[in-house]
Structure formats: C-alpha cells, structure tokens
Structure 1
Amino acid sequence: MRKLTITASVFIIFSFGLGFGYLISKKQIFPYHLLEYTYNFIKHQKNKNVVESGPWSIGVYEGDSPFNLHSSGKTNNPVLTASDVTDVDATFVADPFFIRENDSFSMFFEVFNRKTGHGDLAYAESPDGDNWSYKSLIIDEPFHLSYPHVFEWDGEFYLIAESYADLSVRLYKAKKFPSDWEYVGNLLSGYPYIDPTIVRHNDKWWLFVSTPSNENLNLYFSEELDNSWTPHPMNPIVRKNKNIARPAGRILQHDDSLFRIAQDDYPEYGTQVFGFKIIELNEKSYREVPIDGGAILSGSGKGWNGAGMHQLDALKIGDKWKAVVDGRDR
C-alpha cells in the first residue's frame, strides 16, 4: 500500500510539473495566480478554526457626523454579545451592518459558531436603533461566512458576505426581509476575497475587496449587480499596507461625497478604524485621501472594546448619525 501511495504521489507531482512546464515553455506564462490561489486556500482551510482575536461584541455609537462618534447615552454598550445568541453556542459576534425600514432597525452580523468553527450570519431588531433583541441565524453555509453587507436596490433587499472559504463573493436576496434569504449567485469567484464592500455610484456598481494578507485592496466595477464584473486597471488600489487596505464597513455618503472605511490590521488585527474621502472613482482612475483627525474608532483601553475596534456602519437619523460598531476586549 505504501509503495502504491508513493507511486501515485510521484505521478501527481510529475503531472503538475509537465503542466507547469508546458505553460512556461509554450505559452510563456508562469501560473503565479494558480499557486497563490492554492496557497491561500490551504492556508485558510488550515486556520479556519482559529479566532484571530477577541472575543468581539457589538455596540452603538452616535454623533454629529459619521467621523465624530461616541458611545450612545441611550443604552449600555455592548448591545449584543455572544451570550445573546440563543440558537448556537457562539464564541463572539462581530461585523455589524444595519438598515432602517418602516421606522424600525434590523442589524446583520457574524456569529462565530463554536461547534463548527466558522462564522454564520444572524440578525437582531430594534425599535429605536439603541436597544437590540437578538432574533436568529439567517444564513448557515458549510463554510465560513462573515461581513454581511446588507443594502437595498430597486425595492429589494440584498446581502453580500465574505465567503473566502468558498473562493467567492456570494450574493443573497431577501425572500422575506429581514429573516428569510436565498442565495442568488456569485459576484466574483476563484479567490479568497476578504470583506467585500459594494456601492452604487454614477450608474455603476463598485466592489472593494481585500486580500487574505490584509495588505492589498482591489476594486471591481459592473453595469449590472449580478454579472460582468471587471477588475479596475489600477489594482491594487491600496498596495502592501495593512494599516488601511482592509474594508471596515459600508461606503458612506456624507456632504455629497463618498468615504471609504478601513481597518488597521498592523501590528495587530483589528486595532482601529480610519476614513478616506474618495476623490476620484471611475473606470480608469481611483484616488482617495485620509480624513482629518486620525482614527475614527480605536480601543478604549478597558472593557468590551478595550483592545481594538474594526467595524463601522452609520446611518443619518434626522440631524444626527447613529452607528453600529464592534470591539474586542483582548
């Protein structure tokens, strides 16, 4: 049996060698991307049960702008923790997005499932955006899900999720909002895309995705939501910078401008959150500048968000801004 196993292994290696040799000698192509895909897939499969830091929990902030926020005085943070999850044994909750519909609020977030060792997606409801009640899981796949970016388009509710273990960016549509969702298809496939963040601008869709190393940010665009996504010619639009590359929430619209929200992942994962004003966004060019004032969110030094923060989603309610955020205590 051992001899047969060795023979089979040698044959597989030899076959791969022939294939790579053909690509190099005949097509003048070295399969860097295939090797990178394989490496990242194996790395994430190996580490999929490892919690990078935490535990994470979710809080509510408010302020006079999305970049000048503080803990809401109308509730006690955190508003959601792992102990609020009733349908699975949760390690933490994180990556909150929320949306207002018919004078009530729905929040969508990751629940890290201790039994399966990967993230599921869940939701909570609130009458005022301050006091939240956990409801249930809404999407549970056989692989890790997180970062449930919910949005409305053409009278329908959609959600894209980080699904790096599936080598995809998956799109879901609400059958009955906010509790019932169905899988529609993949926006992107073939790579472990991280924290996909979408926005509609100038009659086009724009999709920001980070890489598993957290140091590069890529941009795609499309006329249609569900097909024909094109990589931006300036990719990566952020190169080799773990302090600002990885998305940290929805693209915000404020004062007639777009703002990208980014998390700081160096020297530790999930330490603080920065904002960048998008100066130019078109099919040929992308430019952004950091907003004044430094970090929007950072660790408080103690309590539920003492060690760091890495997510922000904000809505303007009247003349004030309300935000859902997350933080870690170690």
Structure 2
Amino acid sequence: MTTGSPTPELDPGTALRFAVLTDAAVPPHWHTQCLQSLAAQGEICVALLRVAAPSARRGRTGVLYDPARRSVALADADPGACTGPVYDVEAGEVAARLAEHDLGFVLDLRERHQDITFQVPAHGVWRFSFPTPPARMAARALLDGDLTITAALIRTAADGERQSLVDGKYGVVSASVARTTDRVLRGAADFPSRAARAVRLRLPHPAAARDRGQVSPATATLGFLWRARLAVTLVSRRCAKALRDAVTETYWSIGVVKAPVESVMDGSVRGDHFHWHPGTRPDTYIADPIPLPGGPGVVYAEEFDHMTRHGRLIATTYSETEGWSGSEVVAQETFHMSYPYLFEHHGETLCVPETGWNNAVSVYRLKDPPRLEKDRDILTGVAAGDPTVFWWDGRWWMFYTDCFEPRDTDLYIWYAATPWGPWRPHLRNPVKSDVTSSRPAGAPFVRDGKLLRPAQDDAGRYGWRMVVNEVVRLSPSEFAEVEVTRIGPFGSGPYPVGPHTLSVAGPHVYVDGKRSVVALSLKARRLLRRLRARYAGRRDDSASKGH
C-alpha cells in the first residue's frame, strides 16, 4: 500500500530562494496560499516587499453591491500568515532591495503590472495572468455566458521573453460569483509551487505552454449597468435552480450500440441508436458502464439510490437477442461507490472502483462471480475520482482527478511495476488542470497504434459531454495529450444529455446518459425520511439525558 502526497519528494538542497512583490496593504487569502504552498515545498522566501502604490483590489466596493464580496480567496488574510520578512518600500527602492539577495525568481503579485526595473533572476519574474482582475473575472464570465475561466503563471526572462509555466481551465459556477472566484484562485494558488518543482527537477517546459496575456485592471471595471445586469442574472439563475431542485430529479441510464467506436466519436451514432437499460429498482438510477473482460455481455455499473444518496456496484447483462436482463448488487460499502473500473492482471479480473469519499483507492477481486470482495488499499490519503488503471509502455498507470475543489479539474498520474504497487507519483502532478478534459471517462483504448483516453468535459455541468484525447507523451516525468474529438450531448433518445463514460468491448460500445423528470413523490418521501431520522435522534438524546 502506498501512502503519501501525490507530488514527489524533493531534495532540500535544491530549494529556491525567492522574493515577493505586492501592492496590497493587507494580502488577500489566495496570496498567502501561494506563499504557504511554496514554503510547504521547501522554497525560501527571503523578502516580501510591499510596494507603495494604490491597490486596484481596494476598489472592489462600488455602486449597487460587490459581486465578489463573499469570496474567501479575496478576503483579507492574517498578515502574519506570510512567510519571510516583510518590508514597506517605495517603487524606486525595489531594485536595490532585490539586489541584496541571491534569488532564483521573483513572484510579482502586484495587481497592476509594472515594468521590470530590476535585475531579473536566473529563473525570471513570475506573474499571474487572468482574463480580467481576480475580483472581476467571475462576474465577467457569468455575464458573457462563459463556461470556463483560464488562469496562467507567466515567466518573464532576462531577455524579455514571456512564457507560460503553468496554466489551468476552471469551470464557472452558474449562479455564484464567489464560488467561481474561489475555485479559480484556489487552483491558481498552487501554480508557483508547481513551477518551482519543475525548475528543481529540471523538467522541460510543457510544449503546449503559451503566454495568455493580461487584461489591464483599468479597463475591466464593472459599472452600474453591468452590476444591475449581473444581479438580475444571478437572481434568475438561483430561482431557476431552486425550482429545479424542488420538483425534479436526475436519472441516468446505460446504453449499448453495436458499432465501431469511431462512429460514436464522429457523431454518426446518436442517442436514439443506443439500447438503453430499463432500470433496476425504484428510486435508483444506473451509470458508469464498465464491461467485464472476457465476460460477453456482462456489464458492471453504479446503482445510485436517491433515498440514501449513496451508490453501490451492480452487474447486469446485455445480449442482442434478449436485450438487458438481470441486476445483482456485487459490492456495497457504508460510503459512496461508483465507476467499477475492471481490468485483467495475470489472468485475474480486478476492480478499482471510485471510493474517493473513503480517502483511498482500493482493489476488489472477483469472488463468487459476479460478486466483488475487497482485497486491499493500494493508495491512501487521496480522494480519487474515477481512478483508471491500465498497462502501457512497460508500466502500470493510474489516472484520476480529485473529488474536492476544484472538482474534475486537476489530473493526477501514478505509475507502478504491478497494480499492487508500490505506486509512485508523476513528477508533474497534477499533470494538467482542465475541467474540459481531465477527469477519466472509461478505459483508454488503442487505435492505429495511438493511445486514446476518454475524459469528461464538465465545463457546463457535471456529466455534460465527453472528449477523447490522444496521449502523445507519457513517462514518469512527461505527459502531453491532444484533443481528438468531443462526444455529446446526444440530443436525442430517452437520455439525451450527460454522457460521461465510454467503454469499448469488442463490437459494442457502452455509454451513459441522463434526463430530468418531475419527482414530487420522491422529494416528499425523502423529506419525510429525514424528518423521521431527526425525530428519532432527538428522542434518543432525550432518553439518554433522562438516565
């Protein structure tokens, strides 16, 4: 069993010395997260220079209301949380102050970017790049109807060349400025430590990295009409969401089609071409179809119970003559289970389901088929979403995304000589941050010698559509993939949206999809169940106090 961080250990002797420039009298919380992440990795902050300048961040309050006022990332942090000595300096003193130290890089956190008037360290000056200033970017994205926000950490070298060191694409929360802001800044706060780790390990810069530019804060303010429009947009979206949550429920199902996977990838196979599962038990749905290797027509899936809000694993069967038949629970725990990922090793079928809420990745063996029995944990201390294990180029690989914020965005890779471990983290973890193509969506497959990896595009909402990526580089120190195509939403059939699993088994392709239905009876029964549980708990408390 492997326990530990998804990032590799570093030699303390290679720690980088750096200085920080800021124009904020009191640092926002996400700035302190940047510094704490660097310090936790062993980097040394030799000076934090507070440069006397008007801070654009102080202009957040304005007419009508401040849309980002509830953002935790933008809230004032405890000044004592900053690592390293703090100095108040004038703009003209920056060069002299920095010259006093032997620096690896300068982290420039000033919101209003200034010309570089000091000697650039060996690894450059690092600055964040957002579409608009952090306090405005979420509001702008919501008003413009954007589904994602891109952030980047840009390095300026001594010769003036600019290059992106780390970048990420984060999903917009459709009815919340604060949650969107926190999601983006929480992810971006780790960019400097990721870049510093790459420098210390002497990893080449990603080939896809690029300078995304920077919008001047002076041109990105929100006036009265924009704020009024934003307020109306947020209220209408929240009301619509509240109404949907009150009267409807989402139901998923799994479908199969006998067709080449290329036909599904190019869109010639639509939702009404699939044979959809009729369902199992009342108040449940099924999703995440994973075919049993060597078991014709046997498919494992998640069965989610709307009453308990937990998932368990089932096995069902499909044949071209009889369609879908049978359903048996094969694994159930006290925590949520899903994505029963199956693979073969030395002639034995193993299952690595999603058990992220148990903070571990576990292997189950096929005992008394089709039932599964837990064998052991192979990775602990991680909340892995849809862990996908496969053999490629002489190693076993495990891909997953984190179950916590920013959800479905950061892709982590581990590798080992056997599925039992020990597992080692990829040197670049997380290897990419992209809500549109990170989270696994089924087993990778090979076509024309190319390794194709299904992934989820969760930009619009969870389970919106899929993307198939070609993995062009995969080693313990490198990873790169390019998009081949996107699949869905299907737009037709009984489950027209939400494909987020793609499984290929011989001539068949398995997918899943979803639909929303009015479920007032389910809502009422679930509410009654909660009230009964609450009443029973209070009665037990009263009885215990009486004794």
TM range (shorter): 0.7 to 0.9
What is aligned with 1:182?
373
Query: Residues 216-269 of structure 1: CA distance to partner in whole angstroms, max 9, x if unpaired?
Result: 100000112112111100111221x21111111111122222111111111211
Query: Residues 262-283 of structure 1: CA distance to partner in whole angstroms, max 9, x if unpaired?
Result: 1111121111111111111112
What is aligned with 1:152?
344
Query: Residues 303-326 of structure 1: CA distance to partner in whole angstroms, max 9, x if unpaired?
Result: 422233111101233xxxx21100
- 1:1-330 correspondence to structure 2 within 5 Å: 29=40, 54-66=250-262, 67-68=265-266, 71=269, 77-81=274-278, 84-86=279-281, 89-101=282-294, 104-128=296-320, 131-177=323-369, 179-212=370-403, 213-239=407-433, 241-291=434-484, 294-295=485-486, 297-317=487-507, 322-330=508-516
Aligned-partner residue type, residue 61 of structure 1: V
Indicate the SS of the match to 2:463.
Answer: coil
Equivalent pair of 1:123/1:138 in contact (CA under 8 Å):
yes
Indicate the SS of the match to 1:165.
Answer: helix
Equivalent pair of 1:60/1:130 in contact (CA under 8 Å):
no
Q: Distance in 2 between matches of 1:221 and 1:130?
A: 41
**1:78 offset after TM fit, Å?**
4.6
Q: 1:76 to 1:280 in 2, by over 3 A?
A: closer
Q: Distance in 1 between matches of 2:452 and 2:461?
A: 24
Q: Distance in 2 between matches of 1:310 and 1:70?
A: 18
Aligned-partner residue type, residue 258 of structure 1: L
Equivalent pair of 2:465/2:497 in contact (CA under 8 Å):
no
Aligned-partner residue type, residue 219 of structure 1: I
Q: Distance in 2 between matches of 1:144 and 1:287?
A: 32
Q: How well do the aligned residues superpose, as a CA RMSD in angstroms? A: 2.8
**1:128 offset after TM fit, Å?**
4.3
Aligned-partner residue type, residue 375 of structure 2: V
**1:77 offset after TM fit, Å?**
4.1
Q: Distance in 1 between matches of 2:424 and 2:322?
A: 39
Q: Distance in 1 between matches of 2:493 and 2:317?
A: 24
Q: Distance in 1 between matches of 2:448 and 2:490?
A: 28
**1:53 offset after TM fit, Å?**
7.3
Aligned residue-pair number: 271
Equivalent pair of 1:53/1:328 in contact (CA under 8 Å):
no
**1:203 offset after TM fit, Å?**
2.5
Q: Distance in 1 between matches of 2:358 and 2:314?
A: 19
Aligned-partner residue type, residue 512 of structure 2: D
Q: 1:126 to 1:308 in 2, by over 3 A?
A: closer
Q: 1:70 to 1:151 in 2, by over 3 A?
A: farther
Counting aligned pairs with the same residue, the percent is 26
Q: Distance in 2 between matches of 1:192 and 1:168?
A: 6
Q: Distance in 2 between matches of 1:205 and 1:234?
A: 17
Indicate the SS of the match to 2:494.
Answer: helix
Aligned-partner residue type, residue 374 of structure 2: Y
Equivalent pair of 2:359/2:382 in contact (CA under 8 Å):
yes
**Where does structure 2 lack aligned partners over 5 or more consecutive residues?**
1-34, 42-244, 517-547
